[in-house]
Amino acid sequence: MSERHKPHNGRSTNGNFKVKQTDVDEKLADPQGEDFVRDDVRLGGAVADIGPQAGLRADELQARIDANRDCVDRFRNPDAGPTSHS
């Protein structure tokens, strides 16, 4: 079997990010901003939010992931008590 060359995790060979980096909140404030973001994602595959509020979304997503994990654990094993994940 031939060795597969792993991509550079969103970086070009010189170390720069390939994804477009922008403040998403600032772009969405523009009347056509949603269309701009949609086009960037459609053409480039991703947009990295570098604005001051970018971390708040990550906290919210982590909380939702943890809540979902607890629901799945209760569904898989209804007899066990609540579990804690690190």
Domain membership of residue 52 (yes or no) is yes
Range of the domain at 63: 20-76
Residues 6+ apart with CB under 8 A from 38: none
Quick one: how far is CA 40 from the chain centroid?
15
In a domain, 71, yes or no: yes
Residue at 66 is within a domain: yes
Q: Does residue 6 lie in a domain region? A: no
Count of domains observed in the chain: 1
DSSP three-state, residue 47: strand
| Residue 62 resides in a domain | yes
Does the residue 81 lie in any domain? no
pTM of the model: 0.42
Q: pLDDT, tens digit, for every residue of 27-81?
A: 888 888 888 888 877 877 777 778 888 777 778 888 999 999 999 988 888 776 6
